[in-house]
């Protein structure tokens, strides 16, 4: 009984950790006061005023509502089609990235700067966000946002669709999409890291979170390498194009 409960809990964690991660950023928006210069002292708004400001924003709801509807649908779909935890996790990852991390966070908060509170937090993390779009001081950031708008968001939607369709090419496309995420993350953070620039503690918190988009794509790539090698082993192939 305890073993089955532990298995269920580990399966839930495997599938839904991107949702927990996203909800953590949403909670930050609701209570972390973005107004102190340099984010010092760290202050929280527990009055509900800031939370009301966020929750009443159409920008917030146009992202969060379809994301959670999609999560409910994918949960039922995965159960109905008997999809394993790993593939279900991929669907959750791409859905949450499509709506929240790529669009709600980076595009609406960093690029177009219309998301309440999170826009101010982005400016605290990286003050060059206060400059106009495509200003030379933030060109590397806007290039990253352009990559998300033109490549990463469409790819996230496509990969999710391929998983829904159970397309045999889904894993190849997923690795390509994840590679774009990894490359975009490196290009986004590298200039600040190379110069050891930091506006406040939030800058390092942001970079620490951003490391997820390096670690997880690398994990996906290694997983596909192992899967291909295992398939070759099972089919009796020892080298490319040769059989044992």
Nearest to 78 by CA among 17, 155, 11, 32: 11
What stretches in the chain show pLDDT beneath 50? Answer: 2-4, 6-7, 244
Per-residue pLDDT, 3: 47
Burial-class residue 188 by CB neighbours within 10 Å (0-12, 13-18, 19+). buried
Largest CA distance in the chain: 69
For residue 9, what pLDDT is reported? 62
pLDDT at position 2: 47
> Coil, helix or strand for 44?
strand
* Spatial CA neighbour of 116 closest among 180, 63, 194, 67: 63
What are the distances in angstroms from CA 227 to CA 172, 211, 234?
A: 12, 24, 11
Report yes or no: 116 and 57 within 8 Å, Cβ to Cβ: yes
Q: What is the pTM for the complete model shown?
A: 0.93
Q: Quick one: pLDDT at residue 101?
A: 98
pLDDT digits (tens, 9 = 90+) for 177-217: 999 999 999 999 999 999 999 999 999 999 999 999 999 99
Q: Which two tokens stand for residue 230?
A: 């295992």
Give the pairing type, strands 242-243 and 237-239.
antiparallel
Q: How far apart are CA 25 and CA 209, in angstroms?
A: 10
In this predicted structure, what is the pLDDT of residue 244? Answer: 46
Q: Which residue has the tokens 């001081």?
A: 137
Element (H or E) spanning 88, and its range?
Answer: helix 85-96
Residues in the chain: 244
pLDDT of residue 236: 81
Which pLDDT score is estimated for 8?
A: 55
């Amino acid at each position: 009984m305890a073993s089955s409960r532990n298995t269920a809990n580990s399966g839930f964690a495997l599938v839904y950790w991107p949702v927990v991660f996203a909800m953590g950023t949403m909670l930050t928006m609701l209570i972390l006061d973005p107004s102190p210069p340099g984010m010092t002292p760290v202050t929280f708004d527990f009055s509900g005023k800031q939370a009301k400001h966020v929750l009443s924003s159409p920008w917030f709801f146009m992202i969060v509502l379809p994301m959670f509807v999609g999560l409910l649908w994918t949960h039922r779909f995965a159960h109905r089609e008997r999809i394993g935890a790993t593939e279900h996790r991929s669907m959750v990852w791409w859905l949450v990235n499509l709506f929240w991390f790529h669009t709600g966070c980076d595009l609406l908060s960093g690029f177009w700067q219309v998301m309440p509170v999170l826009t101010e937090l982005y400016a605290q993390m990286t003050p060059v966000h206060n400059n106009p779009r495509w200003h030379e001081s933030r060109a590397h950031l806007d290039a990253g946002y352009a990559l998300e708008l033109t490549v990463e968001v469409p790819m996230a939607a496509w990969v999710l669709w391929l998983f829904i369709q159970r397309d045999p090419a889904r894993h190849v496309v997923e690795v390509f999409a994840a590679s774009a995420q990894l490359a975009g993350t490196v290009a986004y953070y590298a200039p600040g890291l190379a110069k050891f620039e930091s506006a406040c503690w939030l800058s390092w918190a942001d970079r620490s979170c951003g490391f997820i988009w390096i670690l997880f794509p690398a994990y996906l790539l290694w997983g596909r390498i192992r899967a291909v090698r295992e398939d070759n082993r099972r089919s009796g192939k020892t080298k490319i194009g040769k059989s044992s």
